[in-house]
Structure 1
């Protein structure tokens, strides 16, 4: 089942979403939506209590909730309760909120925009840029960030070819690269910027993005030439 992960903005709040190419439908993070509708500081607890209430009422809503890997705010993929548009509409009916109607309109708009994007992929790029601009980033920074994503993908593809495993091994080698150009591990770098769950690269300056891209591009090219076979050989590369 092919899925595309993204972040949509409702007003100024982020909503993690998945587009399922096979089923041709959106899936939305339940926790993100509950946080928006309730304003709760602990939407997970609210969702836990709501599930108990729904089960007691005989609702089948929770049975149709699926677990999808979505990127958390620390950049890591984690299993997250998600629901399609139909189930989200039902969920909204279970939550008293002044934002219920505006959110329903937003859901319909997201569905319509997907149809437009299928007809014209350039719209996808424009909307991604619009999202980042609303978050306070410059267009120049956005272009650098897009390029950094491309560079990172080339590097991780190369690592996979060399037998490097996703997760801890990717993180280990990423730390090596970050230390090489910044003198800090990824964790130390996030601490320096006072980041908690936020994505480090989304909080880099233009110069930092460029330096990181140079380091990752160099690593990719060296790996292609050296063809390392072990994690340690990848580290040396």
Structure 2
């Protein structure tokens, strides 16, 4: 329980710090104007829902990450540390093969091993939903939110349950990679150079195993 609290605090601090850096490096006035436009939209639209979500969580649009807020609203994931990781698991299953997505999910799996089954469910949910990685606020803000959600999830009634040997090997590689990273993690905080070197290489190897397995699993999902 204590480890879970520490892990969630680490995730939240990391995300908050990243946002502050992005905001400090950009002119935020155009994004504040965009927020005002979203807040003026009709109730029930995606734009209005995004505005309400930002207001309720005391957040602002972040340059380059407007579509991130769009996904939170459409998919129904809250803006909490755990739900942030869950959404990345969904998006990876949804064919969003980006480096930030991989990194955030690995970060979450290392710090929150008790949530692996939940992340896996989100990954499968993403596999069976309509791809939304390229959706933008500008294109969909004035659309009805409930209609968009139906459009995204209507294909979920035909889940892809076919598991072949490549999928099985991919899952084994992912499990082995995360297990290796978890095993090495305590040694990375050691003051001993020998421990750091001895644990550092296996930790990187575990990350490569996980990413390789996830990439193979993603390729399998594209073929169905």
Q: Which has the higher contact order (CA 8 A, sep 6+)?
A: 2
Which is helix-richer, 1 or 2?
2
Q: Is the TM value for this pair above 0.5? A: no
Query: Which is higher, the Rg of structure 1 or of structure 2?
Result: 1
Which is strand-richer, 1 or 2?
1
TM-score, with length taken from structure 2? 0.30
TM-score, with length taken from structure 1? 0.29
